[in-house]
Amino acid sequence: MQSRNHGRSSLARKTLAVFVVSAALQVAAFTVSKAETIYYWKDPSGIYHFYKSPPKGFVPRVKKESARRQSSYKSLSKRQIDRLADLFGKRHKVDASLVKAVIEVESDYNPKVVSSAGAQGLMQIMPETQKDLGLDNPFDPVENVEAGVRYLRMMLDRFKDVRLALAAYNAGPLTVEKYGGIPPFAETRKYVTKVLKRYRYNRSKVRQNVQPSK
């Protein structure tokens, strides 16, 4: 994240926008208890900067984004998408390293991708699942990641096992229950293996970053 140590007059000219993942994203069965507010601004080079709280020295302009307003998110970088994974992972109590692994395997961080089966966006959510989750715009990275993490949390709660939760995310929970475990589908088995491999790698990076320097 770039330094915010600028002059007061320069800070006053920057516009800080706020978007809210609000009740519009919710349905009764999957109510999100509290709205998530994320502050961001776009610098002159087109890079977005995200904050959990209003940065010091900024005068925020607050607005609630429409589900169809996705133009502001088209240029999100991998780092910024990872930031969303951190925020929503913490919110829904899902390891952010797992969320990032799912995003990478599902879409390779491409928010516009559509699979041959019809899954859409960063976390490749199927249209019928989008309806259940109240996801209005699957190509909006913010909405997609929030809904995807929420759904992943549901699978973890349902199966109490990361491997089975990932299999359910890929093949559907009823399929996992039908076979009493990971279905005998090459695609699903490969998917679970790839996500777990990436998950372990992401966790190892986190551990390296938190180790005290010698």
Distance CA 62, CA 132 (A): 29
For residues 8-22, give the mean pLDDT.
Answer: 40
Per-residue pLDDT, 209:
74
Distance CA 141, CA 121 (A): 7
Q: Has residue 41 got a pLDDT over 60? A: no
Confidence at 59, pLDDT banded by 50, 70, 90: very low
Note the pLDDT tens digit of each residue in 148-162.
999 999 999 999 999
Which residue, chain included where needed, has tokens 């390891």?
95
Q: Which helix (H) or strand (E) holds 62?
A: strand 60-62
The SS3 call for residue 183 is coil
Tokens of 156: 């973890």
Question: Which residues, other chains included, contact 214 with Cβ-Cβ below 8 Å and sequence gap of 6+?
Answer: none
The SS3 call for residue 187 is helix
Name the class of domain 8-208. mainly alpha
**Is the distance from CB of 65 to CB of 20 less than 8 angstroms?**
yes
From the CA atom positions of the chain, what is the Rg in Å? Answer: 18
Catalytic residue among 106, 128, 146, 177: 106
Is 187 known to be catalytic?
no
Note the pLDDT tens digit of each residue in 114-149.
999 999 999 999 999 999 999 999 999 999 999 999
Q: Which of 30-34, 76-80, 177-181 has the lowest mean pLDDT?
A: 30-34
